[in-house]
Structure 1
C-alpha cells in the first residue's frame, strides 16, 4: 500500500470524510482531486463548533497577533525611557530604526511564502514565533544605532512569514462570511498591544535599583512571553480541523466539510498568466496598493509616546495618558464592523467616515498652539485611529476580486503597499520638529485627502461597471444576470458579467 493509500485509509478509520483530502489538496499537500461528500448538520451543531474554535484557535491567534504588534511599537515606549539617549540616537536614526523592521519583513516575505508551500504551516508559524521572541530579547543587548537597526531588521525577517500564514490559517478554520469578524479581532489585538505595552513598561520602569534599564527589562519580558506563545502554538494548535483535539469525531467531520465546500476549487491554484495580465491593466489594483501605502504612512503610533512626553508630561504619566488612544481605536474598529454588518454595500462610504477621526486628529496636532496641551493630546488620540480602515480594506479585497491568480496578486500588492507605507511614514517625522512634528502632520493631512480621492475613484469604477452589467442584463444578456458565485468558477470578476462589485 502506498503512503497516499495509507493516509486515505487512516482518514476513513478515524471517521473523516473525503473533505479532509479536499482541504489538504488546497493546501498543496496532495496532488489528486477529491470528491466532497455531503454532510448534513444543524445550525446548532455548527455554532457549537465555531464557539470551540473561537475559544481555542482565535484566542491564541489574537494573543500572537498582539505580541507581534507589540514588537513593532516597542520603540515608541522605550524612546521616552532612555533608549534614544542610551543608544546615542541622533537625527533620523530613531525613524530609521522603525523603518528598517519593514525592510526585513518585506525581504523575507518571498522566502516565507515558499516555506509555507513546502512545509507544514503550523511548524513554520510556531518556529517563526519562537525565533522572533528570541530576537526580541536581543533588543536589550543593543547599545548603538547599528546594533538596534540590525536586531530590528532580523526581527522583521523572523516575522515575515507570520502575516501571510495567518491569512491561510484563517481560511482553514472559518467560512468566508465568518472571517471579517475574526480579522477585526486581530486588528483589535493591535490596539490591545498598545495598552499592554504601556502597562508592561510602566511596571518595568517602576523597578528600582535594577542592573539594567526598565525598557530593556520590558524587551526581555515581552520576548520571553512570545517564545512561550510560540511553544504553546506548536503544542495546542492542530494542523487542520481534521486533527482538532478539542472537537469530537463528528465535529471534526463538520468542521472540515463546512470550510472545504467553500474551498473546493483547489484545481485552480496554478498561476494564470492571462488573469495576471488583466489584473495589472486594471486600475483597481493600483488603487488598492495606494490604500495600503496611505494608511500606513499616516500612522503616528510609533511616535505617540514622544508626542505626549514632549508636551511636558513625565514618562510614567505619558504611558497612562496615551491609553485612551488605543481605546478609541477599538471603538472605531468595531464601529466599522457594525457598519459593514448593517450596510454591506456601503463599505466605501464607511471607509471615508472612518478616516475622519484620524484626519481631524492630525489637523488638531498641526494647527493648535503648544500651550493647549490637553487639546493636542486629544488630537493625538484621534490621530491613532486609522487601524479600523484595514478591516474594511480586507473586506473589499475579499468581496470584489475573483479568480485565484487575480486575488493573489491584489492581496500581495496590498502587502507591498503596507511595507512601503511603514518604511516611508517614519521618515516624515523629523527629529528637529518634536513633539508635534508639523511637517509630518501636514503630510498626513494631505495623504488622507488623497486616500478619500482614491476611495471615491474605486467606488466610481465599481459603480459604473455594475450599471453597465445591469444594462446588459436588462437587454437580455443571460451571462450578465446576477447569480450566486460558484466555487468551481475560476473566472475573474472582469470576465464574469454576472458578478456585481460591493461598493
Structure 2
C-alpha cells in the first residue's frame, strides 16, 4: 500500500538506514536546483512580492474592514438608530461566525478546483455588496440576514490566500508573506478608526455618519474586486509576467520544498486524508484555542477602549495606535520565524504577551487606571495577531500535497473562526464596561494554546532527531530540499518545520 506523503511513518517502522543511495535521492531535484542562480531566484521572488502581495493585502484589508466596521458604527449610535435592544448587537456579531465556519471548507475546495485567482475576487465582490446593504438596513432582521451572507462570502478568504501563496513561495518564505498579507487585517483596526473619525464628521440631514462609513468601505471593495479579477495570476506557470525560465524555476522551487506535485488535480477523498493523523488533531485544538483571544481583540477592541470612559471620537482615535503596534509586532515575528525557519517559539512569545494583557485588564479598574489599561490594549494586539499567521504557516509547511494543504487550511481556519462563537457569547452587555468573564475566558484559552504549541514544538524537534538517527542521516527542515529531497522520496526524508 502506498505510503501517504503527509503521514510520516512512525519511528518503529522506519528503516535503520535508507535502502536508496544519496545520489538516487538527490538526482531529480538538487540537480535542477543547481541549474539556476540565487540571483535569478531572488529576482523572481521580488517579482512575486511586488506584484502579488500588495493587491492581496488590500483585498484582505477590505475584508477586515467590511467585517469589523460594525464596532466603529456602534460608537456612532448605529445600534440605537436601527433599534437594537439588549444583546442583539452581540448576537449579530456572533451569527457572522456560523456561516463563516460552515462554508469555509466547501468554498476552499472551489478555490482549489477552480483558480483561487478567480474565486477570491468573486468572494470580494460578495462581501463588498453586503457592506453596502448594511448601510440600507433598518432593523435587526435585515442586518441578521446581511451578516449571515457576509459570513459566507468571507469564509474562505484567509485559507484561500494562504493556499494560493503556498503555490508561489517556499516554506521559509511563507510566514513572512502571509504576515504581510495578514498585516492588512490587523492594521484595519487603525484604518477603520481613522476612517470612522473622518466619516463621522460628515453632517447630513438625510443620512447618518455610520451609513457613509458602510457606503465608502463597501463601494471601495466592489471596485477593487474587478481589478483583482483581471490582475491575479492563476499559477506561476500561467502568469504572463514570468519568462519561460522563471516559470521553470518556480516549478522546481515548489517541488523541491513545498509540494509533491505542482498544479495537481483535486482529489477530495485524498485531500481529507491528513485528518487521520493525530498531529492535525493537535493543530485543530491549537487553532480553536488561539481563535478566542484573536476574536476578542478583533471584534471588541473598540468596546474595550471605550471602557476607559473617553468620548466616541477619542475612542476611535485611541484604537489606532494599538493596532499599528500589533501590526509591527506581527511583521517582526513572521519575518523572524522565516529567517530562523522556526515556528513554535515564535508562536509562544506573542501568546504569553496577550495573556498578560488580558490579566491586567481583568484585575484593574479601567477608569481609575486608564494609562495601565490602555497599555494592556497594546499587549493584546501585540499578542493576538501573530499566532494566527504563524500557526497557519506551520501546518501548511508540514503538508506537502497541494490539495491536502488547501483542505487543511480551510478546516483549521474554520475551527479558529468557530472560536468567535465563544468570544461573542462571553462578551455580554451586562458585563460592560469591564467584561471580566470575557477577559478571563480569553486568557484561559490563550494559556491552553501556549501549552499545546510548546508541546508540539518539543515533539517535532525530538521526532526529527529520532528519524535522523534511525535513517543514518542528518536532515533538518532547512536542508531537506537542497541536499536530500527527491519528489519520489518525500515520505521518508521529509522533516518537520517546528
**Which residue number in structure 1 is paired with residue 161 of structure 2?**
166
Q: 1:273 to 1:172 in 2, by over 3 A?
A: closer
Q: 1:289 to 1:361 in 2, by over 3 A?
A: same
**Which residue number in structure 1 is paired with residue 431 of structure 2?**
433
The question of 1:321 aligning with 2:341 is answered: no
CA–CA distance in structure 2, aligned partners of residues 290 and 264 of structure 1: 27
Could you tell me how far 1:101 is from its partner in structure 2? 1.6
**Which residue number in structure 1 is paired with residue 391 of structure 2?**
393
The one of 187, 203, 227 equivalent to 1:208 is: 203
The one of 292, 304, 308 equivalent to 1:307 is: 304
Q: 1:191 to 1:406 in 2, by over 3 A?
A: closer
**Which residue number in structure 2 is paired with residue 55 of structure 1?**
50
How many residues of Structure 1 are paired with residues of Structure 2 in the alignment? 457
The one of 341, 348, 351 equivalent to 2:347 is: 351
**Which residue number in structure 2 is paired with residue 28 of structure 1?**
none
Could you tell me how far 1:91 is from its partner in structure 2? 2.8
**Which residue number in structure 1 is paired with residue 369 of structure 2?**
372
Gaps of 5+ in 2: 1-28
CA–CA distance in structure 2, aligned partners of residues 353 and 372 of structure 1: 26
Which of 1 and 2 has higher RCO (CA within 8 Å, sep 6+)? Answer: 2
The one of 63, 70, 92 equivalent to 1:75 is: 70
CA–CA distance in structure 2, aligned partners of residues 102 and 270 of structure 1: 28
Q: 1:64 to 1:105 in 2, by over 3 A?
A: same
CA–CA distance in structure 2, aligned partners of residues 210 and 57 of structure 1: 42
Q: What aligned pairs does 1:47-126 form with structure 2 within 5 A after superposition?
A: 47-126=42-121
SS at match of 2:372: helix
**Which residue number in structure 1 is paired with residue 487 of structure 2?**
487
Could you tell me how far 1:272 is from its partner in structure 2? 6.2
Contact 1:79–1:305 (Cα < 8 Å) also in 2: no
CA–CA distance in structure 2, aligned partners of residues 244 and 348 of structure 1: 34
Between 1:157-166 and 1:110-119, the stretch displaced more is 110-119
**Which residue number in structure 1 is paired with residue 188 of structure 2?**
193
Q: What aligned pairs does 1:151-300 form with structure 2 within 5 A after superposition?
A: 151-248=146-243, 251-252=246-247, 254-255=249-250, 258-259=253-254, 263=259, 265=261, 270=267, 276=273, 279-280=275-276, 282=278, 284-299=279-294, 300=297
CA–CA distance in structure 1, aligned partners of residues 160 and 144 of structure 2: 25
TM-score w.r.t. length of structure 1: 0.82
Contact 1:466–1:501 (Cα < 8 Å) also in 2: yes
Gaps of 5+ in 1: 1-34
CA–CA distance in structure 2, aligned partners of residues 38 and 485 of structure 1: 12
Could you tell me how far 1:192 is from its partner in structure 2? 2.0
CA–CA distance in structure 2, aligned partners of residues 94 and 128 of structure 1: 25
Could you tell me how far 1:237 is from its partner in structure 2? 2.2
Contact 1:291–1:451 (Cα < 8 Å) also in 2: yes
Contact 2:305–2:315 (Cα < 8 Å) also in 1: yes
